[in-house]
Amino acid sequence: MSSALPNSVYARDVEYILHPVTNARKHEEVGPIVIDRGEGIYVYDDRGNKYIEGMAGLWSVAVGFGEKRIADAAYRQLQKLPYYHTFSHKTNAPSVDLAERLVKMTPASVNRVFFTNSGSEANDTVVKLIWYYNNARGKPQKKRFLARTNAYHGITMVSGSLTGLPVNHRDFDLPIIPVTHLTCPHYWRNGLPQETEAQFTDRLIQELEDTIAKEGADTIAAFIGEPVMGAGGVMVPPEGYWPRVQEICRKNDILLIADEVITGFGRVGTTFACEHFGIEPDVLVTSKQIASSYAPLAAVIMSDAIYQVIADNTAKIGTLGHGFTTTGHPVSCAIANENLAIIEERGLIENARVSGAVLQEELAKFRDHPLVGEVRGIGLIAVVELVADKANKTRFDPVGKAGAILFAKGHEHGVIVRAMGDQIAFCPPLIITTDEVREMVRRFGAALEDTY
């Protein structure tokens, strides 16, 4: 960074910005990469380097970069009505169109939409609405949330409390709400020696039942989970896990919340991952691919049973004391409508199955690599987990060392992946072709060869 000119974007970035999820001192030393433009599955930095965006940004850009139809839709809406709120009986057509579309796309169990700006706000909203619901139906002691270790549900005080990653709690004094983190359903890492996958699943279900017995079902509000964990390491749960969790929740009057912020809109090859796992949640949370992150937007979609209790309570109190300045933002919703139309018209969910099969097949070739512990994934989402000792699954010391080196090497080879510790994630735009998948994995392989 010492070579950067004082008024350059590099120097000013380092001088003025605190970056999220970044080592600030290291950033001061190495400086930023300025992403300047994007097209299809590629992004370009301001020095002319071209990268395959193997993570669709942050698991987001389903339709790829530079989609003109979305830019046009946003421009039309900006000219017509750039902003209006949705408090006090106001609405706008794009938000109504989007809500209807979401209700028609999502599992039949959810049919009422509340919009927020981010996944974190959506999960904060879920906690608030469920507490409100339980208070309203005379069960004020039902407050505790069940989540899992390795879960990622966001970063605000409440959603960050649901998150089960120590780095997101450390020195932030989280969690701040009653939450129990159950074992992450990751057989390869958390299965005991000699335990079969079916026995592992039985053990997790037993843990859930024991926790409910210990805490008391009358103190537990909900179970929240990503159908396939994302930021915690792309963990695909064992067969039968989700239907059994659902059954136990139903039996104990515990709501089931599917956090589909990453998996929603085709990522695993079905419209929602709930379909793939055969579950019908009481609340479904979406964001990211809803608008390909061309604008901030998230949606909480709840069951009619929850809505009816909430609606009665708003009548009793006089209003719903919750909402954001930009809830149902017309431009974000217009962008989402266009984005979802593109996903449908271009058959991108089908493409997630076709290109996803190639992604899983190509990455599986690294299974024999001496530093690869596990390759796992589903559809167009996958992880290659690096280990210091393959036989014992020993992690690198410090954790993340190998991932960080490989991440940087990937840039040299023209591919952006994500290093979550030593877990290297892939989550490319849903438009990626099978040839492009092969090229992306080839670049990753070259970076791996170069590194080790």
| Nearer of residues 297 and 334 to ligand PLP, judged by Cβ | 297
Q: How far is the CB of 231 from ligand PLP (least distance, A)?
A: 5
> Which of 153-161, 177-185, 195-203, 353-361 is the region at the interface with ligand PLP (rule: CB under 6 A)?
153-161
Give me the residue label for tokens 């020993």. Answer: 394
| Nearer of residues 161 and 366 to ligand PLP, judged by Cβ | 161
Q: In angstroms, what CA-CA distances link 145 with 93, 186, 208, 261, 428?
A: 35, 20, 12, 18, 32
Residue 406 tokens read as 């490989």
Of the candidate residues 106, 287, 303, 423, the single one contacting ligand PLP (CB under 6 A): 287
Residue 207 tokens read as 């843990």
> Which of 224-232, 332-340, 341-349, 358-366 is the region at the interface with ligand PLP (rule: CB under 6 A)?
224-232
Of the candidate residues 119, 237, 269, 400, the single one contacting ligand PLP (CB under 6 A): 119
| Nearer of residues 73 and 273 to ligand PLP, judged by Cβ | 273
Residue whose CB is nearest to ligand PLP in the complex, by number: 119
| By CB under 6 A, residue 153 contacts ligand PLP | yes
Q: How far is the CB of 198 from ligand PLP (least distance, A)?
A: 27
Total residues contacting ligand PLP (rule CB under 6 A)?
A: 16
Strand blocks (E) in 242-332? 255-259, 283-286, 298-302
| By CB under 6 A, residue 338 contacts ligand PLP | no
> Which of 79-87, 258-266, 357-365, 410-418 is the region at the interface with ligand PLP (rule: CB under 6 A)?
258-266
Residue 187 phi/psi, 5-degree rounding, is -60, -45
Q: What gap in Å lies between CA 354 and CA 431, rounded to an integer? A: 11
Residue 28 buriedness (CB in 10 A; 0-12 / 13-18 / 19+) = exposed
| Nearer of residues 272 and 396 to ligand PLP, judged by Cβ | 272
| By CB under 6 A, residue 152 contacts ligand PLP | yes
383 DSSP β-pair partners: 376, 425
Q: How far is the CB of 417 from ligand PLP (least distance, A)?
A: 16
Residue 234 tokens read as 């792309």
Neighbours of 174 (CB within 10 A): 20
| By CB under 6 A, residue 230 contacts ligand PLP | yes
Of the candidate residues 259, 338, 362, 436, the single one contacting ligand PLP (CB under 6 A): 259
| Nearer of residues 31 and 230 to ligand PLP, judged by Cβ | 230
| By CB under 6 A, residue 231 contacts ligand PLP | yes
| Nearer of residues 119 and 410 to ligand PLP, judged by Cβ | 119
> Which of 17-25, 29-37, 148-156, 405-413 is the region at the interface with ligand PLP (rule: CB under 6 A)?
148-156
Q: What gap in Å lies between CA 360 and CA 409, rounded to an integer? A: 22
419 DSSP β-pair partners: 424
Q: What gap in Å lies between CA 145 and CA 154, rounded to an integer? A: 15
| By CB under 6 A, residue 327 contacts ligand PLP | no
Cis bond leading into 398, ω under 30°? Answer: yes
Residue 307 tokens read as 């809505």
> Which of 96-104, 257-265, 306-314, 376-384 is the region at the interface with ligand PLP (rule: CB under 6 A)?
257-265
Sign of CA dihedral 286, 292, 293, 295: negative
Q: Say which residues have a Cβ less than 8 Å from residue 274's Cβ, sequence separation at least 6.
A: 107, 227, 258, 260, 280, 281, 284
Residue 8 tokens read as 């350059």
Q: How far is the CB of 387 from ligand PLP (least distance, A)?
A: 24
> Which of 18-26, 112-120, 142-150, 403-411 is the region at the interface with ligand PLP (rule: CB under 6 A)?
112-120
Q: How far is the CB of 49 from ligand PLP (least distance, A)?
A: 25
| Nearer of residues 119 and 429 to ligand PLP, judged by Cβ | 119
Site track for ligand PLP across 51-80, x = CB under 6 A: -------x----------------------
Q: Helices 330-345 & 348-364, crossing angle to 10 degrees?
A: 70
38 DSSP β-pair partners: 43
Q: What gap in Å lies between CA 209 and CA 355, rounded to an integer? A: 39
Residue 19 buriedness (CB in 10 A; 0-12 / 13-18 / 19+) = exposed
| By CB under 6 A, residue 164 contacts ligand PLP | no
| By CB under 6 A, residue 428 contacts ligand PLP | no
| By CB under 6 A, residue 154 contacts ligand PLP | yes
List of residues contacting ligand PLP (CB under 6 A) = 58, 118-120, 123, 152-155, 226, 230-231, 259, 261-262, 287
